[in-house]
Amino acid sequence: MQLENRVFSTADSKQISDKYVAVRLLGGNDLDDEGRDFMQRYGVQGYPTLLAMTPDGAVLGTDFQRDVAGILATMDQAATADQNFRTKAKELGASKLPEAVRTMAGLYKDRMQWAEARTRYEQLVAAGGSVEDKMSLLDVLGKVNDVPARKELLAKLVSTCSDRPECIQWRIDLATADLPTVIRSRDEYVAMLEKKKTALEGLLSEVKSAGDQAVVRNELANALSGTGDKDGAAAHWDWILANAKDCPAVPDALWGKAIAAVNGGYMDSDVAMVKEGRALLQKIVDEHGSHQIAGQARRALMQVEQLITQLEAKAGGDEDGGDDDDGDEEDK
């Protein structure tokens, strides 16, 4: 709505339509199958999302300012990027050298032209490409939702690269590869999480090391949390914090416990529980400041402080109101 009021409905927005064609897809309750396919292909998580695209579907820019001048600047940068790409494609496109093919595959991947990227990564893998080439192909196969090809590649990676730290994530992805990726309702979402829970519990019984168990347990805790099984989720997060203190999953476990505490405390007007969540968020910042989730924790802390203030004010108001009610009763 803000974009509509501040940008698209203003007179100077004509500058955008004079240079570029604007296409809008509906979201929310108006989302149709075309919109869902678009969201999956381009990784759209919410609205509004702005993409600078070519007519053939390449994405050239996503970092927009929310005004006419900023949108035009991003579009102009995207046009320059497209010209640079075409120059590079002309230079390297016909080359069969692995580095040239790899460069073009990466350029197509950056532009979200998945079919073109897939063709080139498959050429590299067929010629005995690196593990990184296979991982890039794996990512692309996920974008085009080719489940059979993705499962086959995951199985190969698990069997041939078991010493890689990514292997446990490949095993998780393989165990959950058949889960639906398009969810249309809350019931479908919960049903998907129940299937994920079953798959992950089977995998958990197979993995041996504490580090690998921690990664699986964190995924399992998130699934349980999504189904409303708070106690089940907390049990897995507590296991991670007690048994895998040096595992990369620890910050994620702290985050899961923190958000569960904040949300639960807010719903129940339990200030102490919200403060418990705040302490866990602060622990992420203090002890895992370089982890990517620390940034989320810092932003969440500011919001949690506001929640605590609101709940404390509400509690104070309720106490004052209770005294007034007693007084009124005595006057009667």
Domain 249-332 top-level CATH class: mainly alpha
**Residue 269 near residue 316 (C-beta atoms within 8 A):** no
Q: How confident is the model at residue 21 (pLDDT cuts 50, 70, 90)?
A: low
The label of the residue with tokens 């897939």 reads: 118
Q: In this structure, what token pair is assigned to residue 13?
A: 């927005």
For 47-81, what is each residue's pLDDT tens digit? 677 777 787 778 877 777 767 777 778 888 888 88
pLDDT digits (tens, 9 = 90+) for 244-295: 988 999 999 999 999 999 999 999 999 999 999 999 999 999 999 999 999 9
Residue 332 — pLDDT band, cuts 50, 70, 90? very low
Choices 3.40.50, 2.40.50, 1.25.40, 2.40.10: CATH for 93-164: 1.25.40
| pLDDT for the residue 109 | 94
pTM assigned to the model:
0.77
Report the percentage of the chain scoring pLDDT > 90: 63
Contact indicator for 158, 174 with CB cutoff of 8 Å: yes
pLDDT value at 319 more than 90:
no
CB under 8 Å to 167, separation ≥6 — which residues? 157, 158, 161
Q: Which one is predicted more confidently, 170 or 54?
A: 170
Residue type at 262?
V
How far is the C-alpha of 134 from the C-alpha of 131, rounded, in Å? 5
Q: Is the pLDDT of residue 148 over 70?
A: yes
Residue type for 19, please? K
Report H helices in the chain: 2-3, 14-19, 33-42, 68-92, 98-110, 114-126, 131-143, 147-160, 167-175, 186-204, 210-227, 230-243, 250-267, 271-287, 293-331
DSSP state of 179: S
Q: pLDDT for 110-132, tens place per residue?
A: 999 999 999 999 999 999 989 99
**Residue that wins the pLDDT comparison between 105 and 76:** 105
Domain boundaries, the chain: 2-83, 93-164, 179-245, 249-332
Query: Tokens 């590299």, residue?
Result: 124
